[in-house]
Amino acid sequence: MPPITLWFLQASRCIRTAWLLDALGLDYEVKFSPREGGLAPAAFKKEAGGLGKFPTLQDGDTILYESGNIAEYLCDKYDKQHKLLPPVGDPKRYEALQWVHAAEATWTLHGIAVLYVRWHQKDGDVKKTEQGLSKNIINDFNLLEATLKQSSGKFLFGNEISVADTMMHFSTSFILARELGVKAEDYPRCKQYVQDCEATASYKKAVEKTGHKL
């Protein structure tokens, strides 16, 4: 039995962690759950413990949640050659971590705000609220489009994936797939980025192992 268990909720950020585990060449057990009424079933939350949000990762006695935190933990523990995350003190580490944190605290935050309006705003002008919120997302995607255009390769830092891609891919694909304030046709480089991430052997392996679907 591998020491690592990933609690994986369908159609979620959990693909970030699965992709990173496969990119690191680690063996892991998947505890999978479909959604019920859009959410994680109560028994699944109870079993995983912690915040009851996913991804949740167990490595030996260590239980972690927050996809960005899990990403940093896995790289620090298992990426001994620093292929995915440069070492402490190297300025490139903080460039990569900037994307790791922004994936959740900026891109996903702004995208989810639109989704919550669609789900929960029962009266008033929903389109107008969405338009107001989309200003942030347009700003985020303008930056991502420009950064990817300037990259020397397919990914954020060239032709090899980094921890930044394992985090940013989900945010980008989720926002474009649900058209949360932006449309893929306006961001061709971002659209290509999603396809290039999904064409990597480690991403494909993670999808095969987890059954991830958006």
- In the bound state with ligand GSH, the residue whose beta carbon lies nearer, of 50 and 132, is 50
- In the bound state with ligand GSH, the residue whose beta carbon lies nearer, of 105 and 146, is 105
Instruction: Find the Cα–Cα–Cα–Cα dihedral 156, 68, 75, 164, rounded to 10°.
Output: 0
- In the bound state with ligand GSH, the residue whose beta carbon lies nearer, of 49 and 87, is 49
Q: Across the beta sheet with 4-9, what order do the strands follow? A: 29-33, 4-9, 56-59, 62-65
Per-position x/- string for 76-115, each x denoting binding to ligand GSH as judged by CB under 6 A, each - no binding? ----------------------------x-----------
| Reduced 3-state DSSP string for 35-84 | CECCECCHHHHHHHCCCCCCCEEEECCEEEECHHHHHHHHHHHHCCCCCC
Q: How far is the CB of 41 from ligand GSH (least distance, A)?
A: 8
**Kind and range of the H or E element at 113?**
helix 109-120
Helices 163-178, 188-198: axis angle to 10 degrees equals: 120
Residue with the two structure tokens 């480089």: 189
Q: How far is the CB of 98 from ligand GSH (least distance, A)?
A: 16
What's phi and psi for 185, nearest 5 deg?
-60, -25
- How many chain residues bind ligand GSH (CB under 6 A)? 13
Q: How far is the CB of 158 from ligand GSH (least distance, A)?
A: 25
Chain residues 5-34 in contact with ligand GSH, contact rule CB under 6 A:
9, 12-13
54 binds ligand GSH per the rule CB under 6 A: yes
Residue in 26, 30, 66, 138 binding ligand GSH, rule: CB under 6 A: 66
Residue with the two structure tokens 């609220």: 129
Q: How far is the CB of 7 from ligand GSH (least distance, A)?
A: 9
- In the bound state with ligand GSH, the residue whose beta carbon lies nearer, of 55 and 111, is 55
- In the bound state with ligand GSH, the residue whose beta carbon lies nearer, of 10 and 142, is 10
Rg of the chain over CA atoms, in angstroms?
A: 17
Contact set with ligand GSH (CB under 6 A): 9, 12-13, 39-40, 53-55, 65-68, 104
